[in-house]
Amino acid sequence: MNTYVSENHIVVGQQRLEDKENEIVAIPQLLDKLDIKGATISIDAIGTQVSIAQHILDKEAKF
């Protein structure tokens, strides 16, 4: 899984998914590696979990 900054057209983070692991587990791990304070986060439908949304808000970002 990758994080991408659309304004700069650059990948800024990656998280390897283990066998049988899905993005719901990996998204918070990837977000923990990034300074997202003040950023707007866009995630596809699999990321629409309450825990992921709260994680984004806890890191002072918006979605």
pLDDT for residue 61 is more than 90? yes
The burial class, CB within 10 Å (0-12 / 13-18 / 19+), for 7 is: exposed
d(CA 5, CA 7): 6
* pTM recorded for the entire structure: 0.79
Q: What is the pLDDT of residues 13-50, one digit of tens each?
A: 888 888 887 888 889 999 999 999 999 998 888 888 99
Q: What single DSSP character describes residue 1?
A: -
| Reported confidence tier of residue 51, pLDDT bands at 50, 70, 90 | very high
Predicted pLDDT of residue 55:
93
